[in-house]
Amino acid sequence: MRRHNPLSQIAIQALLFLVALFVLIPVWVLFYLAFDGSIKGVPLHFRIWPEQITFSIFTQVIQHPSQNLTFLDLLKNSLIVSGGAAILSVLFGATMAYAFARFRFYGRRIGLFALLIGAMLPAVALMVPLYILLETLHIRTTLFGLMLVYTAFAMPFCIWNMHSAFQAAPKELEESAYIDGANDKQAFWNISLPMVLPAIGIAALIAFLIGYSEFAMGWLFVEKSTNVTLAMAISGMLGYAGMSGWNNLAALAILMSVPVVIIFMVFRDYFIERFTFTSPEK
């Protein structure tokens, strides 16, 4: 059995401890800002513990996080946009990924390469084409238009992720289904699709997070205050942090993260079961 040098072990543990501090300290600062009622405007000192613990900041943020919308209104807009982007990305991405993985046709490699280039392009590169397209369709300033924008951002990654999963799925099972009389549609829905559900879930989650957290590009496609999302409301607070208070900004950021945490906790056991091929613990 290989023995590690005690000094190297200490150095590794110290490095990991510093990395953990680098990750956890900003999270803790976010929480103590959200619960410290003594902070007015910009915080000037770092504190380990809130000086005046209060929950009124969350109450204020839930009622009036922006000028015209409540927190529930912002959350509804965010869920519509991000949830729609996740559904569209999986719906169209799964069929495209299956076609790229199972069929051989002219332009297949070029199409995959084009998708890879699309995944590597910065979001700003798609700004002008999407603006022109949605403006032509007269849906640029709608939530549906914003949903299509985030779908365009997420589709390349979703297709490549599910393409790899379909390639890894045993093709012999589909061939056995064909022998038993199944057609292409039945083989896809009953054989291939259930085997790649974890990859589909991850693709849907990534697409959801893209639509849920992006705000810079969203301002180009939103003109009505009623279509503002949570991420846009937080970015709007940054410009007026001295007026609204950084504790309000921290509270809204924590509230925004709650749906993502809930989604992860609900589907955590499912992903573990699918990836390890074991039943989740009850």
pLDDT at res. 148: 92
Q: Are residues 49 and 75 in the same domain?
A: no
Q: Are residues 10 and 147 in the same domain?
A: no
Q: Are residues 171 and 259 in the same domain?
A: yes
Task: Show the DSSP H helices in 214-245 as ranges.
Answer: 230-239, 241-244
Q: Are residues 129 and 250 in the same domain?
A: yes
Is residue 281, in this structure, part of any structural domain at all? no
pLDDT at res. 85: 94
Q: Are residues 189 and 73 in the same domain?
A: yes
Q: Are residues 137 and 11 in the same domain?
A: no
Q: Are residues 131 and 182 in the same domain?
A: yes
CA angle 259-58-81, nearest 5°?
Answer: 35
Q: Taken in order 136, 142, 143, 144, is the CA torsion positive or negative?
A: negative
Q: Are residues 115 and 236 in the same domain?
A: yes
**Could you tell me the CATH number of the domain that includes residue 205?**
1.10.3720.10
Task: Show the DSSP H helices in 108-218 as ranges.
Answer: 108-120, 127-136, 143-168, 171-179, 184-187, 193-195, 197-213
Nearest C-alpha neighbor of 149 from the set 214, 203, 96, 231: 214
Count: domains in the chain: 2
pLDDT-based confidence at 282, cuts 50/70/90? Answer: very low
Is residue 169, in this structure, part of any structural domain at all? yes
pLDDT at res. 244: 52
Last residue of a domain, which of 54, 74, 89? 54
pLDDT at res. 226: 85
Q: Are residues 13 and 114 in the same domain?
A: no
Mutual angle of helices 246-276 and 197-213, in 10-degree steps:
170
Q: Are residues 26 and 71 in the same domain?
A: no
pLDDT digit string (tens) for 159-217? Answer: 988 888 888 888 888 888 888 887 878 888 888 888 888 888 888 988 999 999 888 88
pLDDT surpassing 80 at residue 243: no
Q: Are residues 15 and 127 in the same domain?
A: no
pLDDT at res. 88: 94
Q: Which helix (H) or strand (E) holds 88?
A: helix 71-102
**37: domain range?**
6-54
163: its two tokens: 């393409």
The predicted model scores a pTM of: 0.81
Is residue 282, in this structure, part of any structural domain at all? no
Q: Are residues 45 and 87 in the same domain?
A: no
Q: What is the DSSP letter of 36?
A: B
pLDDT digit string (tens) for 12-37? Answer: 888 989 998 888 888 888 888 888 77
Is residue 1, in this structure, part of any structural domain at all? no
Q: What percentage of residues in the chain have a pLDDT greater than 70?
A: 87
pLDDT at res. 144: 93
**In whole angstroms, what is the distance from residue 70 CA to residue 108 CA?**
47
Is residue 203, in this structure, part of any structural domain at all? yes
For range 237-245, the mean pLDDT:
58
Nearest C-alpha neighbor of 174 from the set 161, 160, 188: 188
**Among the listed ranges 13-17, 230-234, 238-242, which one has the minimum average pLDDT value?**
238-242
pLDDT digit string (tens) for 122-158? Answer: 878 888 888 899 999 889 889 999 999 999 889 988 8
pLDDT digit string (tens) for 60-112? Answer: 888 877 667 888 999 999 999 999 999 999 999 998 898 888 888 888 888 88
